[in-house]
């Protein structure tokens, strides 16, 4: 799947979880099987932990650090102009919880 296809699938799954309590419960209790049933290809042995934000709890996921970062990558992060990939962060929640802390100059 391309990144665009994965993003569309992610939005589809979130929308379904928001409108179908039974699906949401399956997604939370057995995310691997539920994601596979929705057509998401996962590597064998991959563990998936599905969590849900609440009004009082916001999960901020630290992405896996790339194996190699260039000096330019590090400079961008340190200077505050690097990209923050938000596939695990709902920006509407982040805006309320973190205020202006998260700055995304790339539209990700």
Residues 67 and 28 occupy one common structural domain: no
Residues 65 and 79 occupy one common structural domain: yes
Residues 44 and 64 occupy one common structural domain: no
pLDDT digits (tens, 9 = 90+) for 5-31: 889 999 999 999 999 999 999 999 999
User: What is the pLDDT at residue 28?
Assistant: 97
User: What is the pLDDT at residue 30?
Assistant: 97
Residues 86 and 44 occupy one common structural domain: no
Residues 66 and 40 occupy one common structural domain: no
Residues 74 and 91 occupy one common structural domain: yes
Residues 60 and 106 occupy one common structural domain: yes
Look up residue 5 and give its two tokens.
């296809």
Residues 38 and 65 occupy one common structural domain: no
Q: Are 96 and 88 in contact (CB under 8 A)?
A: no
Q: List, as one string, the DSSP characters of 20-84.
A: -HHHHHHHHH-HHHHHHHTT----TT---------SS----PPPPPPS---HHHHHHHHHT-S--
| pTM for the full predicted model | 0.60
- pLDDT band, very low/low/confident/very high, at 78 (cuts 50, 70, 90): low
- pLDDT band, very low/low/confident/very high, at 96 (cuts 50, 70, 90): very low
> What proportion of the chain, given as a percentage, has pLDDT over 70?
70
Q: Is the pLDDT of residue 106 over 80?
A: no
Residues 34 and 64 occupy one common structural domain: no
Residues 47 and 88 occupy one common structural domain: no
Q: Is the pLDDT of residue 84 over 70?
A: no
Q: Is the pLDDT of residue 80 over 70?
A: no
Q: Which domain holds residue 32?
A: 1-52
Residues 40 and 67 occupy one common structural domain: no
Overall number of domains in the chain: 2
């Amino acid at each position: 799947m391309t990144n665009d296809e994965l993003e569309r699938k992610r939005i589809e799954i979130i929308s379904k979880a928001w409108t179908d309590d039974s699906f949401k419960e399956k997604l939370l209790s057995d995310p691997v099987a539920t994601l596979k049933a929705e057509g998401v290809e996962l590597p064998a042995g991959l563990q998936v932990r599905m969590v849900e934000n609440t009004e009082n709890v916001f999960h901020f996921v630290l992405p896996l650090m790339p194996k190699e970062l260039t000096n330019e990558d590090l400079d961008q992060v340190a200077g505050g102009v690097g990209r923050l990939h938000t596939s695990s962060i709902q920006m509407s929640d982040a805006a309320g919880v973190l205020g202006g802390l998260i700055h995304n100059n790339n539209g990700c």
